[in-house]
Structure 1
Amino acid sequence: MNSDTEHKLASKNTKPTSMRILVYDFLASQQAALSLSEIEAHFEQADRVTLYRTLKTFEEKGIVHSIQENVTTRYKLCSDACSEETHKDWHLHFYCKICRTTTCKEDYIIPANIKSDFRIDEIRFFAKGICENCLSETLQ
């Protein structure tokens, strides 16, 4: 088992079970956000309910953030700055209409120093278009 992953899970108050370690390591190896079905396809022998509960636990503990796309929820690992109390998920989520992937564009952020007399717990910053890879292929 990956002791670095175990440490990361434990630091987020999450018991490092075998399934949680496997899911975390899989998500860490992915560039795009994935749906439950896509994650399930990677873990053919795993129970869908177990995977769903793992993702929900990860979301509650600030390990993953969910990205809502119409009727599909996708999951991506959070930055280390996220916690149980609040997700620092203030960057652009970008869906490519050609390759149908969702990626985090962390160069495009909403400033965290918004002055207000209220608390913001969540912001959904989402765009659809053509990603840089697909765009360069269409120009060739």
Structure 2
Amino acid sequence: METEEIVHKLEAKGIKPTSNRILVMKTLVNEQNPLSLKDLEQKMVSMDKSSIFRTLTLFLEHDAVHAFEDGRGILNYEVCEEEGECDHHDGHIHFYCESCHRSFCMEDIHIPSFELPEGFYPHSVSFVIKGECPECRKRLR
């Protein structure tokens, strides 16, 4: 995705497109898998951890990214595909590979619908399956 498209994406979410914000979003967009803060640090050595974290926090507040816990207690971030405000209708499961430690979006497998008991209101839903990705499975055989 080009810088111009990143700027448009950020502005559509109500985020002022600074150079750090553009860089973080571009890194997330260009990856095929969700990334943790540590992953982003390793890919963006020119930016310090606190700047990346502040940017991710802002992105979460504006629904520019979604975060999910990968089953190890580590948040992974993925870009929200919605223009403007997100209604979180595209909830999908994630897969965490215990061998290579990568997370994958399973966008075609949606989180099953459920009904909570009266008085309970969910703020987020996360569904993570742990195992081995095809690449690691092949390597381990």
Specify if TM > 0.5: yes
Give a deviation string over 1:87-124, Cα, whole Å, max 9, x none: 34521111011211011111110256x67877543111
Residue 10 and residue 44 in structure 1: after superposition, are their counterparts in 2 closer, same or farther (change >3 A)?
Answer: same
How does the TM-score come out when normalised to structure 1?
Answer: 0.83
Residue 82 and residue 65 in structure 1: after superposition, are their counterparts in 2 closer, same or farther (change >3 A)?
Answer: farther
Task: Check whether the contact 1:82–1:88 (CA below 8 A) recurs between aligned residues.
Answer: no
Q: Which whole-Å CA distance do the structure 2 matches of 1:77 and 1:58 have between them?
A: 9
Q: Which whole-Å CA distance do the structure 2 matches of 1:104 and 1:110 have between them?
A: 12
Residue 17 of structure 2: aligned partner: 16
After TM superposition, the runs of 4+ consecutive aligned structure 1 residues lying more than 4 A away are: 114-120
Residue 34 of structure 1: aligned partner: 35
Where does the alignment leave 5 or more consecutive residues of structure 2 unmatched?
none
Task: Check whether the contact 1:65–1:87 (CA below 8 A) recurs between aligned residues.
Answer: no
- Of residues 124, 127, 132, the one that matches 2:126 is 124
Task: Check whether the contact 1:65–1:89 (CA below 8 A) recurs between aligned residues.
Answer: no
How does the TM-score come out when normalised to structure 2?
Answer: 0.82
Which is further off, 71-80 or 4-13?
A: 71-80
Task: Check whether the contact 1:91–1:106 (CA below 8 A) recurs between aligned residues.
Answer: yes
Q: Which whole-Å CA distance do the structure 2 matches of 1:28 and 1:130 have between them?
A: 24
Q: What one-letter code is carried by the residue in structure 2 that aligns with 1:123? A: V
What SS does the corresponding residue of 1:31 show, helix, strand or coil? coil
Q: Which whole-Å CA distance do the structure 2 matches of 1:134 and 1:17 have between them?
A: 38
Where does the alignment leave 5 or more consecutive residues of structure 1 unmatched?
none
Give a deviation string over 1:63-99, Cα, whole Å, max 9, x none: 1111213232121112226736x43452111101121
What SS does the corresponding residue of 1:79 show, helix, strand or coil? coil
How many residues are paired up?
Answer: 137
| RMSD (Å) for aligned C-alpha atoms | 2.4
